[in-house]
Amino acid sequence: MFASSQTNPGTIRPFRLETTQAELQDLKQRLSKTRWPDELPGAGWNYGAPLSFVKDMAAYWEHSFDWTKQEQRLNSYPQFMTTIDGANIHFFHIRSSEPGAVPLMLIHGWPSSPVEFLKLVGPLTDPTSYGGDAADAFHLVIPSLPGFGLSGPTTDTGWSPFRAAQALDALMTLLGYEQYGPTAEELSHPDQIVVWYVDGQGQATPIPNGRYDAATGTVVFHTTHFSTYAVAYASTAFTDLQNVPWAKPAIDAMAARGVIHGMSESRFSPEALIKRADFVALLVRALELQGTGSPKTAFSDVDPIAYNRSELNTANELGIAVGLPDRTFKPDSPITRQEMMVLTARALAAAGKTVGGSGSLSAYADAASIASYAKDSAAALVKAGIVTGSNGKIAPQGPLTRAEAAVILYRIWKL
């Protein structure tokens, strides 16, 4: 039933399911002779599928399932086999008759197979027949994942999700689909289109500076090394942003890039105050600042195993976070807005980002309350549009919330 292993790598071969009646009869006989094990009383699904469930499935396969009918159904769609990276890959390839159709790959999960997508073939390849728009037509590529279903077994180990993705990318190229484009949903949130660096073990790390350029339809980013990179769409699942709609785009964009994190997978706590050490760490991550990596703790009141110790050390080395005369930093104290402005201005300078000359603070009724050490930083950030204030005030001694911090980082990222 399966194509022979590793035949003509890189070529595309037509594929059909061809199961003989003798093979089906043999299967039914083996099912009828199954020797069933005993089952622990009350096991339910705690040890896998219950015995009664498996028996019902076996009986269905033996007496009711019409394999010939299903085989004919599957064979009514164009199927192919190719060999990529030493593995056979089975796939359906259904092209639309619409001239403007774009390629779309549908990838099944586990446990599942490409069959789950076949009911979508008509609406996706011929949307006008289903009351849709021809502009929404797709050429469909529906593979069986390497090692699953009709692709058959792989011949070696190491088939990580990244390696499987590489193989499927090679399949799209082999079919002549050499460019990827964002979906309409992704284009509605372009700041969540991100770039990942993928290391040798297949682990992905977001590149904070990566972004989607709508004018060219490409992603752009800068890096210091030639490696493997991937483009992805990263969505968040925070459910507590209803009261801060003005900050949601910034939170989503920064979280998608791994710059800022939630308190949990679903909770961001936007109105919580942000600590001094945490804001410094965010600046270092957002601007991708690098230090020497010294393990020495820069400040006497920072725990040597603190989660943000590395970023604090980097900020200290670069002259961003200098601390107090007694070598303390007060890492757990809420940061004030004027402290944020000074640290942000220093971080931008360390990153080589020019925010222009000094602006005017005259628009703010409380400008006179800005500490002398923070006035220049405040004026520069106001001119750059990074700090805007609220209701005619800049609130220099006021604390900074997590939502406000995300907006500051987002404006920096947009420079």
CATH number, domain containing residue 163: 3.40.50.1820
Q: What is the reported pLDDT for 172?
A: 96
Burial of 107 (0-12, 13-18, 19+ CB in 10 A): middle
Is the residue at 40 inside a domain? no
Q: Is the pLDDT of residue 131 over 50?
A: yes
Pairwise pLDDT comparison (7 vs 146), residue with the higher score: 146
**Secondary structure of residue 382 in the 3-state scheme:** helix
CA distance 228 to 198: 5
Is the residue at 3 inside a domain? no
Same domain for 157 and 133?
Answer: yes
> Can you give the residue range of the structural domain that contains 353?
248-413
Same domain for 216 and 287?
Answer: no
- Reported residue count of the chain is 415
Classify 158 in phi/psi space as left (phi over 0), alpha (psi -120 to 50) or beta.
left
Give me 60's structure tokens: 């269905």
Q: Is the pLDDT of residue 5 over 60?
A: no
Lowest mean pLDDT among 231-245, 346-360, 366-380: 346-360
Please give the mean pLDDT across all residues of the chain. Answer: 93
Give me 89's structure tokens: 């890959």
What average pLDDT does this structure show over 182-200?
Answer: 91
Task: Tell how far CA 407 is from the center of its chain.
Answer: 21
Which amino acid appears at position 8 of this protein?
N
pLDDT band at 356; cut points 50, 70, 90: low
pLDDT band at 2; cut points 50, 70, 90: very low
What average pLDDT does this structure show over 30-43?
Answer: 93
Give me 76's structure tokens: 């009514």
What average pLDDT does this structure show over 120-131?
Answer: 97
Q: Is the pLDDT of residue 275 over 50?
A: yes
Is the residue at 136 inside a domain? yes
Same domain for 223 and 275?
Answer: no
Same domain for 253 and 395?
Answer: yes
Same domain for 138 and 65?
Answer: yes
Is the residue at 256 inside a domain? yes
Neighbours of 125 (CB within 10 A): 19
Is the residue at 371 inside a domain? yes
CA distance 29 to 310: 65
DSSP H/E element including 124: helix 121-125
Same domain for 262 and 218?
Answer: no
What average pLDDT does this structure show over 294-319?
Answer: 89
pTM for this model (two decimals): 0.75
- Given the DSSP bridges, would you call strands 102-105 and 138-143 parallel, antiparallel or unpaired? parallel
Same domain for 18 and 121?
Answer: yes
Is the residue at 243 inside a domain? no
Same domain for 203 and 327?
Answer: no
What average pLDDT does this structure show over 238-264?
Answer: 97
Same domain for 310 and 378?
Answer: yes
Q: What is the reported pLDDT for 9?
A: 64
What average pLDDT does this structure show over 219-240?
Answer: 92
pLDDT band at 29; cut points 50, 70, 90: very high
pLDDT band at 183; cut points 50, 70, 90: confident
* Interval 153-172: pLDDT, tens: 998 998 988 899 999 999 99
Same domain for 117 and 216?
Answer: no
Beta-bridge mates of residue 54: none
Burial of 405 (0-12, 13-18, 19+ CB in 10 A): buried
Same domain for 56 and 138?
Answer: yes
What average pLDDT does this structure show over 38-65?
Answer: 93
Query: How many structural domains does the chain have?
Result: 3
Q: Is the pLDDT of residue 6 over 50?
A: no
**Boundary residue ending a domain (139, 174, 209):** 174
Is the residue at 39 inside a domain? no
Is the residue at 1 inside a domain? no
Share of residues in the chain with pLDDT > 90 (%): 81
Same domain for 302 and 396?
Answer: yes
